[in-house]
């Protein structure tokens, strides 16, 4: 709890539904929005700074590959005993309404869809704004993959957590499912897989799993991955606790295959960490160009000024072969 017993609480993806006493955050600016940020680029909030976080019908606007990284970012800002509560459109309730012929369930004008099936589809995807459909078990699965513990479905305005006010943002109970989970301990990951040398060239790679290992005792930070014509593009930030982060390295086993300086301007981090002089230039960006095949693990780490290599996370990648030999050629 914050000083005076008041909880620090985040209302992520608030839209126009802002709430007094909360940090209201959305990708778009608006009346009452305290923090304008795209969670896919990281939230300008200190790690382990929130007692609890709530998101109501915002997660569906992200695609499935973006879901776990977004939940990992929400997990990052929660305190070790923090809780996340999600309100999501319930696909099961929509199916039941469609099968029973309950057309009043679907809040869709006839100009958008006239047939029962059309009204069902437009409502569940909410005119294309929603990119992911949810059931309670799928939501819990995503939370567990993001490192949360004790994921469970909850009733409307009921919580199993110690934060009674966490339910105060609940709405639309007739069409929603509510789930909660604790931040949980840092997950234990399996040992690294190694690459096999001298494989044919690959011009494309698919990320199977993105693993974040921050914050830790040495570094704070976050990164995301984008596909580009050049390869896999890593975009993120890194701040050492006791020593400044100077570079970010990508390693395959003991071999460094890509590196970039920590020098990209990040005014959002300067605001979030006003007491850290280097926060304003703590960003990084680099490209990894694959040239192998099969499943492999890439370690992402920050090179600190005192010589320490601090882990930021890892990528499990499947590469598709084409012509040249070697596993990864250096990116930039």
As a whole number, mean pLDDT of residues 288-317 equals 84
- Residue 193: inside a domain: no
- Residue 13: inside a domain: yes
Residue numbers of the domain that contains 304 = 200-329
As a whole number, mean pLDDT of residues 220-228 equals 86
| In a shared domain, residues 70 and 176 | yes
- Residue 104: inside a domain: no
- Residue 101: inside a domain: no
Q: How far apart are CA 190 and CA 220, in angstroms?
A: 22
pLDDT digits (tens, 9 = 90+) for 103-157: 899 999 989 999 999 999 999 999 989 999 999 999 999 999 999 999 999 999 9
Cβ 269 vs Cβ 44: under 8 Å: yes
Domain harbouring 324, CATH code: 2.60.40
pTM for this model (two decimals)? 0.60
- Taking alpha carbons only, the member of 131, 150, 139 closest to residue 176 is 139
Cβ 167 vs Cβ 158: under 8 Å: yes
Domain harbouring 23, CATH code: 3.40.50.150
| In a shared domain, residues 153 and 220 | no
| In a shared domain, residues 164 and 262 | no
| In a shared domain, residues 218 and 158 | no
- Residue 10: inside a domain: yes
Cβ 71 vs Cβ 97: under 8 Å: no
| In a shared domain, residues 160 and 268 | no
| In a shared domain, residues 168 and 217 | no
Where does the pLDDT of residue 194 fall: very low under 50, low under 70, confident under 90, or very high at 90 and above?
Answer: very low
> Domain total for the chain?
2
| In a shared domain, residues 178 and 205 | no
Cβ 151 vs Cβ 180: under 8 Å: yes
């Amino acid at each position: 709890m914050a000083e005076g017993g008041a909880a620090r609480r985040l209302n992520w993806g608030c839209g126009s539904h802002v709430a007094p006493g909360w940090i209201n955050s959305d990708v778009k600016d608006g009346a009452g929005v305290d923090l304008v940020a795209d969670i896919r680029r990281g939230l300008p909030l200190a790690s382990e700074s929130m007692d609890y976080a709530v998101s109501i019908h915002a997660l569906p606007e992200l695609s499935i590959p973006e879901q776990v990284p977004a939940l990992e970012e929400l997990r990052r800002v929660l305190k070790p005993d923090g809780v996340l509560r999600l309100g999501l459109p319930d696909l099961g309730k929509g199916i039941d309404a469609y099968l029973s012929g309950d057309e009043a369930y679907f809040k869709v004008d006839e100009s958008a869809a006239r047939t029962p099936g059309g009204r069902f589809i437009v409502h569940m995807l909410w005119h294309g704004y929603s990119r992911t459909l949810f059931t309670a078990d799928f939501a819990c699965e995503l939370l567990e993959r993001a490192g949360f513990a004790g994921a469970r479905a909850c009733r409307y305005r009921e919580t199993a957590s110690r934060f009674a006010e966490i339910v105060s943002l609940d709405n639309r109970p007739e069409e929603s499912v509510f789930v909660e989970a604790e931040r949980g301990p840092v997950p234990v990951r399996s040992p690294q897989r190694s690459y096999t040398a001298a494989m044919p060239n690959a011009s494309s790679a698919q990320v199977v799993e993105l693993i974040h290992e921050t914050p830790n005792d040495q570094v704070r930070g976050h990164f995301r991955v984008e596909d580009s014509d050049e390869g896999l593009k890593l975009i993120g930030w890194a701040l050492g606790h006791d020593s400044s982060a100077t570079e970010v390295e990508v390693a395959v086993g003991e071999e460094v295959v890509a590196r970039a300086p920590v020098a990209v301007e990040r005014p959002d981090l300067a605001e979030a960490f006003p007491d850290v002089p280097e926060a304003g230039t703590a960003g990084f960006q680099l490209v990894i160009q694959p040239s192998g095949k099969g499943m492999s693990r890439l370690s992402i780490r920050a090179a600190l000024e005192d010589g320490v290599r601090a882990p930021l996370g890892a990528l499990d990648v499947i590469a598709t072969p084409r012509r040249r030999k070697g596993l990864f050629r250096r990116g930039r």
